[in-house]
Structure 1
């Protein structure tokens, strides 16, 4: 005989059915914050890349205005303008991937953005290791290039980029020659047929030693000199006597001093760029891996 056991027992303890939704909503808010963070920072780098690209194109197209702006005319403008333009394009392309991938939540673009950042970071690490381990060979190669540029100074009128860059280095580092000004004495084009006085390029001229103002009108050419300086011009070639007010220190020592004085800044910039790349890689891969999981879980509770 069946007996009636009454209505089924009901639990009086309330169940928190909204807890999963609240947890998923918090995760969605966190991912949205990361998404807009990546978008804003990559938008900043996109604008920065655009400015670098426009600056490089400006140098390439309007050299006269740029030369009058900086006051120097013997810089290898064509080479540096192309370097700036290419750097700007690469920065714009990488930032565009991050912007679109983060804003549209496209996993393929975020993965490509992560891969390019990883490749860039690995390249920087490899270059740092090579520079540290091959420092002696690198110094030897730089010395060979510098001495070769001195020996071949102005031998080819159509190929003057290396000579112009070397003149710029001497002017900026306030040095002359690689080891000393005597490195210029065997150069045939700088020798004078009139006397036995040795000559050096005008970029070796120390105008501050004689309280003289230096104006570069050509590539390179001093328009005013001290009372003892007698420049000898041949087309764009400008030389001064080696016994005049010239820099006595070689560029090897000047380069070592510059690296020693700016070592902390260089290391700080490299570390900052590396940490920034690591941060962007972490955020991009985190966003790429968790977007679909959060949306799949949210769809279960709707």
Structure 2
């Protein structure tokens, strides 16, 4: 009876080892995906971060990058801990899983909270950012972001083209008589912003709604990725606990 029990426990341990190994393989791939989403957000979608008064959007992306790197390292550690059957390594692995779980939950929560606050923030700050910082010395990132925003989304100003009447730069001699920046023009040529006719500029299209929709879509992606991977990790932590309990206590 005793031999049967020991054999049964051994088989259970083997099953747990392979389950945890399979989990780690997919977990490692998921870590690459999480890191890629965070890096993609920062590298390709960061142009408009300078137009936001809050750093929450970029913070969620940085959290995903860090979590992704740690996930990939943890996946390798998990494989080593599983096949070497070292309880101390399993403890470290479990702690890392828990830390990553918390990081991804935080990223998901931040994305959700900022998703709710984004509309209010843009309404309160976008016009001021565009009119006060455009073409201002030291604010080259804002200038570049505004020009790209207006061209990419075919819009002009925060609410509409009349917002530019309050612009410090438009009122200055440097604007050379422009009524709006040249990036408001449907076809950009030098000084095309002098003519604000609907045939020339995106006269009725404000940028605020389009920027809001753009960022909200990416916040959804960040939130879904963070929460989804965190939920999957619960299984990894359960497998780790079960394997830890099934192994004999190491001598010290």
Q: Verify the 8 A CA contact 1:205 1:240 in the aligned structure 2.
A: no
Bigger proportion of residues as helix: 2
CA distance in 1, matches of 2:139, 2:175: 29
Q: Verify the 8 A CA contact 2:135 2:143 in the aligned structure 1.
A: no
Q: In the alignment, does 2:192 pair up with 1:241?
A: no
Q: In the alignment, does 2:143 pair up with 1:187?
A: no
Which structure 1 segments of 5+ residues have no match?
1-15, 60-69, 208-221, 226-230, 233-237, 298-302
Counterparts of 1:63-142 in structure 2 under 5 Å?
A: 75=47, 88-105=65-82, 106-124=89-107, 126-127=109-110, 130-131=113-114, 135=117, 138-142=118-122
Question: Which residue matches 2:234?
Answer: 281
Which stretch shows the higher mean deviation, 285-294 or 48-57? 48-57
Secondary structure in structure 2 of the residue aligned to 1:249: coil
Question: Which residue matches 2:53?
Answer: none
Q: Verify the 8 A CA contact 1:199 1:241 in the aligned structure 2.
A: yes
Give the 3 Å change call, closer, same or farther, for CA 22–203 of structure 1 in structure 2.
Answer: farther
Alpha-carbon displacement from aligned partner over 1:36-67 (angstroms, at most 9, x marks no partner): 1232123324555777899899x7xxxxxxxx
How many residues of Structure 1 are paired with residues of Structure 2 in the alignment? 233
Question: Which residue matches 2:15?
Answer: 30
CA distance in 1, matches of 2:174, 2:24: 68
2:142 to 156, 162, 178: 162
Structure having the higher Rg? 1
Give the 3 Å change call, closer, same or farther, for CA 50–126 of structure 1 in structure 2.
Answer: closer
Question: Which residue matches 2:86?
Answer: none
CA distance in 1, matches of 2:76, 2:159: 50
Question: Which residue matches 2:245?
Answer: 293
1:250 to 184, 206, 211: 206
Question: Which residue matches 1:65?
Answer: none
CA distance in 2, matches of 1:116, 1:38: 17
Highest relative contact order (Cα 8 Å, sep 6+), 1 or 2? 2
CA distance in 1, matches of 2:220, 2:63: 24
Q: In the alignment, does 2:192 pair up with 1:199?
A: no
CA distance in 2, matches of 1:38, 1:194: 61
Give the 3 Å change call, closer, same or farther, for CA 76–157 of structure 1 in structure 2.
Answer: farther
CA distance in 2, matches of 1:112, 1:85: 21
CA RMSD of aligned residues (A): 4.3
Q: Verify the 8 A CA contact 2:170 2:180 in the aligned structure 1.
A: yes
Q: Verify the 8 A CA contact 2:134 2:142 in the aligned structure 1.
A: no
Secondary structure in structure 2 of the residue aligned to 1:94: helix
Give the 3 Å change call, closer, same or farther, for CA 255–155 of structure 1 in structure 2.
Answer: closer
